[in-house]
Chain A
């Protein structure tokens, strides 16, 4: 199908890192089923490095491909680098997405950040709220 690049189709047909990590150090879930996309990312973290990552996605072809690509881009990387991951980088790595599907790459970026935030929260690590979009209600901001 010409709707998607070959890269997108490859990651959709053969998604990397699908699955669950039991007792993950950080879990992030973004999106909602009503809108047709949910992404869940599981992180295994050792010494501030993402040693393993898995994802589960409910969504269209580009949502699955974006999750797959995002996990590949952060696997083995220090957390600080994972936090630098942008939706633009995911889109570029996939050789582009149709305009109406860009939000899938945004979800992938948010899912990674949300999983890191969960790791920080679980471990009482202080962080700068500005790193995360949806932290309006987080503890740190109320200081």
Chain B
């Protein structure tokens, strides 16, 4: 059996997305900046794709900038807010301890330039509260950036409430919605979101393309200088095929949010139940306020990488924490922020499902994980010490 359960890392492109891209590689390949009809055909497609994406987010097309993906959008949003703040002498930013590194590392870079950053606690359920955001905002705060849903543990944040708090305080609010877009209903106006990042390959679109939504009135800071593309805010010939694929994938995903969510929540909950029945394991993140396809569990006494390799042998593609951090020896910053001790955080497993996964696959995964955990515990000196009572279990 071959099971792909790493959809938070990336997804398979949908048929609709692939088909939407093809004509823009072979027939309508003009440069949208060109005056001739080939170019203008591409410009028309670009403008139509922008309209469609804007409509799905509840904003206007002029508020959409195409980027190379989520990381670029996050960087541009944060640097824009920082520059705007700096002009008014506001150099404080509020964020959370479990943001994606695209946000955390951008904030670290700003700290070196004299900005002060407050990272909110995520508690043991992986959720920040709007009250804590309100309490953290200072007169010199120029930005609040809180992710819509976490990439590792899938917890969904109270974005509309945080948006209301920021609007009331007159502070810009950015959300990294890379994991949420196409999976949860988003309305940037209703939720008082000033800037939002999304990435196409997380909802069955192509890689290397994303969106930064920036509310009218926000003067974006360029990261890339050059031509006048994207209203002069992001130079470089537009990746039309990818943009068309993203627009098609986003339409499809948004149309199916309700149906997919109903199906996925059922699979997710069964998977959580099955995995948490393994002794000395624990679900990471709130059980209910989480993405429909996200499961993240820690198993005491084993290490995540060996678990992943053995699951791969059994045909299961999974992840331990975030794929971006594999290669690093430190356990996930998200699990540490959640309060998991190092030795427990090392034994984490993330399974992220999509609507193509089946009940049968979920049962197979549960059995496979059970076997592999037991095999690895059997050769683990840590497990021996825990079982013999020499050390105390951390997870009951």
Contact = CB atoms under 8 A, between A and B. Distances in A.
Contacts, number: 65
Contacts of A103: 329
Q: Is the interface of A mostly helix, strand, loop or mixed?
A: mixed
Contact of A15 (B327, B346, B379): B379
Contacts of A37: 303
A1 B343 contact: no
A29 B346 CA distance: 19
Contacts of B343: 33-34
Interface of B: 301-303, 305-306, 309-310, 312-313, 327-329, 331, 341-343, 346, 378-384
Given A33-B346, A60-B306, A100-B329, 5 more contacts: A1-B309, A36-B331, A58-B383, A61-B306, A61-B309
Interface in A62-91: 63-64
23 contacts: A9-B309, A12-B306, A12-B309, A13-B313, A15-B379, A18-B378, A33-B342, A33-B346, A34-B343, A36-B303, A36-B329, A36-B331, A36-B342, A37-B303, A38-B380, A56-B381, A56-B384, A58-B303, A58-B380, A59-B303, A61-B309, A63-B306, A100-B329
A36 B312 CA distance: 20
A61 B305 contact: yes
A126 interface: no
Contacts of A117: none
Contacts of B310: 13
B379 A56 contact: yes
A57 interface: yes
A72 B310 CA distance: 22
A40 interface: yes
Chain B binding surface SS class: helix
Interface in A5-56: 9, 12-13, 15, 18-20, 29, 33-40, 55-56
Contacts of A20: 384
Contacts of A58: 301-303, 380-383
Given A56-B379, A58-B383, A64 B306 contact: yes
Interface residues of A, number: 29
Interface centre among A18, A35, A59 (most CB of B within 10 A): A59
Nearest to B302: A58
Q: Which of A9, A19, A55, A57 neighbours the largest number of chain B CB atoms within 10 Å of its CB?
A: A57
A61 B310 CA distance: 9
A61 B305 CA distance: 6
A37 B304 CA distance: 11
A120 to B, nearest CB: 21
A38 B381 contact: yes
A64 B306 CA distance: 8
Contacts of B379: 15, 18-19, 55-57, 64
Contacts of B346: 33, 36
Contacts of B303: 36-37, 58-60, 63
A59 B329 contact: no
Contact of B381 (A12, A29, A98): A29
Q: By CB atoms of chain B within 10 A, which of A33, A57, A63, A103 has the most? A: A33
A33 B306 contact: no
The interface centre, meaning the residue of B302, B342, B383 with most chain A CB atoms within 10 A of its CB, is B342
Contacts of A57: 379-381
Contacts of A15: 379
Contacts of B305: 60-61
A36 B335 CA distance: 14
